[in-house]
Amino acid sequence: MKKIIKYILIFFGLVNFILAQPCFLAKPTLDDGDEYYEGLASNGVTQISLMGDSLIWLGTGGGLSKTSNFGASFFSYFSGDENMARGGISAISVLDSIIWVSAIFDSSTEVGSQQTGGGLAVSKDYGESWNYIPQPVDSVDDYNDIWAGYKTRFLPVVTTVNNTTWDIASTKDYTYIVSWAGGIRRTPDFGQTWQRLPLPSDDADFLPCDSIPYQINPRDPPNGNHNHKGFSVLAYGDTVWVGTAAGINLGIVEPEGCIRWTKFNSYNSAISGNFVVAMARQYWKGKETIWAVTMQATGAGEYRAISKTSDGGRTWSVTLEDERAYSFAFHDSVVYVCTERGLFKSIDSENWALYKPIEDSSTGEKIYSEHIYSAAVDEREGTPYLWLGTGDGIARTCDDGLNWQIFRKSTSTSIAGQEKIYAYPNPFSPTHHNVLGDDGHVRIKYSIESSGTVNFEIYDFAMIKVFSGEKHSILNIGENNEVWNGRDNSGRLVANGTYFVKLIKNINDNEIINWTKLIVVK
């Protein structure tokens, strides 16, 4: 039990870190009824979904963003304002003109900061208008539901604290959500009503429609069941797949709405682990493959890998063993897996190639993150583009990674009234922010009016110089960045504290000096 709690906390902590990635553009105030503002909401991008002829939806730590012109411009919705869900976006589901999003934020409680469900939002018109839906909760005495004609006992979930929606899936009949404390639920009427769904208990492999379920309780055993804690869901037609903290559940929806469940775990099948944090469906030339990110829960013989089945769960196999994965994308027979070591690609679902670190071929900008959280292949422009979401912005390529274009949120330093130089993220943690290889990275943002040379220096609070960069030429007129890894000129990480950045620009024999402050917290 301690093992599964450990991995659930690791999972929550990781997602919380992603969703808490700093925003580098001051959010404008809501004015004249505007529901969104220009630019990305955050550089931490965990969800990418395609919709219609040109829409791309992006779930970020700062809220929901979109582009309707393939990246030429971006717009973001005001988190928690108007009819939008509150917090960082944890899930997106798209079906025809309908889009659902869920959000998560941190709240202060007597036991400290706790993740909290920020509700959901749904649009039926490609995001033109939205309806906010509060995080589903039960009344304190709401113990019983009727399921397949039987009275079924559920533990009431009366709070939004730890009642966090991690995934959403929609069919023409239902929208399904999965939550840790909130369990598994569905709505047939766009959130006006919610139905709690029973799943097999931890010690049962089946739950048919002609049996009376036991109490549905997402607490820890012995009183509760890990299989009632939902983390991923996939739905199409009359088929529902739910990943929990105790395995993979395949559900077949009967005409009257009851669901027949079969559970697969590391004890009765060949999946690698019972903590299932992501699922996806690949359909190519009549062949369906279900892919799942399966991690160790109890630790007894379990390990992290990708588990997959091409025969509806009758047999399972594993690949990419020992890799910590987040999500999937597909292009015909090609499979992409987003992991903490970068993006993997396979053309035969068995042999894998790891992409090199991402660098913008036009600007030289880099993605300072090995973690790739989300991916999507977009063929609507004619040429297929591969889009990636990272903790350090968005990237896309149309030539399999030979050339990349990077999109990132930042404040312009060339606009009147804005700072001429600033550092981000600030405060900066060399062990957590923009980590690539063994180093974290902080960007020093500035603009240059014409070509020249630039170098920068770092001083501690006593104005003792700890780092001096090399002078180099800048040919890219406009916005530019210098990058520092938090180390002094001897290669040692600097101590926690306040530092001052001095940027020296030499343009047309004129020396221009700008200063900014940076806080380092390891």
The per-residue DSSP string of 418-462 comes to S-SEEEESSSB-TTTSS-BTTB--EEEEEEESSSEEEEEEEE-TT
Does residue 237 belong to any structural domain of this protein? Answer: no
pTM value is 0.89
Which CATH number belongs to the domain containing residue 430 in this structure?
Answer: 2.60.40.4070
Does residue 495 belong to any structural domain of this protein? Answer: yes
Does residue 442 belong to any structural domain of this protein? Answer: yes
Does residue 456 belong to any structural domain of this protein? Answer: yes
Q: Which residues contact 408 (CB under 8 A, 6 or more apart)?
A: 40, 43, 365, 392, 393, 394
Q: Are strands 393-397 and 385-390 parallel, antiparallel or unpaired?
A: antiparallel
Does residue 489 belong to any structural domain of this protein? Answer: yes
Query: Whole domain around residue 450: which residue ranges?
Result: 421-520
Tokens of residue 78, six digits: 């005001």
Q: Which residues contact 73 (CB under 8 A, 6 or more apart)?
A: 38, 67
Separation between Cα atoms, residue 376 and residue 288, nearest integer Å: 18
Q: Which residues contact 400 (CB under 8 A, 6 or more apart)?
A: 386
User: For 122, how many CA atoms within 13 A lie in the half-sphere containing its CB?
Assistant: 18
Q: What is the pLDDT along the chain (522 residues), one digit of tens a residue?
A: 445 544 444 444 544 444 444 333 333 433 445 667 889 999 999 999 999 999 999 999 999 999 999 999 999 998 877 799 999 999 999 999 999 999 999 987 776 788 999 999 999 999 999 999 999 999 999 888 888 888 888 999 999 999 999 999 999 999 999 998 899 999 999 999 999 999 999 999 999 998 877 778 888 888 889 999 999 999 999 999 999 999 999 999 999 999 999 999 999 999 999 999 999 999 999 999 999 999 998 768 899 999 999 999 999 999 999 999 999 999 999 999 999 999 999 999 999 999 999 999 988 889 999 999 999 999 998 999 999 999 999 999 999 999 999 999 877 777 777 788 999 889 999 999 999 888 999 999 999 888 899 999 999 999 999 999 999 998 878 888 999 999 999 999 999 999 999 999 999 889 999 999 999 998
Does residue 465 belong to any structural domain of this protein? Answer: yes
Per the structure, the count of domains in the chain is 1
- Cβ count near 76 (within 10 Å): 24
Amino acid at 18: I
H or E element: which one contains 148?
none
Does residue 446 belong to any structural domain of this protein? Answer: yes
Question: Among 372, 338, 104, 97, which Cα is nearest to 231's?
Answer: 104
Does residue 340 belong to any structural domain of this protein? Answer: no
Question: Among 113, 55, 45, which Cα is nearest to 372's?
Answer: 45
79 within 8 A of 59, measured Cβ to Cβ: no
